[in-house]
Amino acid sequence: MALTGNWTKYTYTPDTTTTETVETTYPVDLPVDDPNYDLRGQTITEEINPLVKTGTTHNNVYINVRSMVVDVKNINISPDETERQVKIETCYRVYTSGTDRHSDPETYITQEHIYDIDYDTSQDLFVQAYNGLKNLEGFENMIDA
């Protein structure tokens, strides 16, 4: 399994020449393990530098999933209730071609990680990883190889 086509790598960098005022209201019922638990019920106003999106397109590349980690968490919904969440961390490599990948797997252009792709225990893990990648921004022009 692999993907082939035109892949766009997006980066986001702060625009240090401008600022925006952002107001965030945190719900009162945040779970205890939420990193913003101490801010529950509050509205916080901050000055931030907005992010600028830049895309670099790599034409006719070959993308191969190198590894996956299945992460199972129990999320506290309330003090008496938890919800099981299963996510995949996918590591993939981008090659100039399938031939390059097969002749030397260490000749990749870049290696990237994607976190939090939902996982369905009733389906094949690799199929889900590739389908998850194809649904992400930058992978719109990728097809199964």
Predicted local distance difference test score (pLDDT) of residue 86? 80
Residue 13: CB partners within 8 Å, gap ≥ 6?
51, 52, 54
- pLDDT of residue 46 exceeding 90: yes
Predicted local distance difference test score (pLDDT) of residue 79? 84
- pLDDT of residue 105 exceeding 90: yes
DSSP state letters, 23-90: EEE--TT--TTSTTGGGTT-EEEEEEPPEEEEEEEEEEEEEEEEEEEEEEEEEEEETTEEEEEEEEEE
Query: What is the distance of C-alpha 39 from the center of its chain?
Result: 26
Predicted local distance difference test score (pLDDT) of residue 84? 82
Predicted local distance difference test score (pLDDT) of residue 35? 95
Predicted local distance difference test score (pLDDT) of residue 142? 96
The pTM of this model reads: 0.73
- pLDDT of residue 132 exceeding 90: no
Dihedral sign for Cα 106, 112, 116, 122, please: negative
Average pLDDT estimate for 31-48: 95
Predicted local distance difference test score (pLDDT) of residue 119? 73
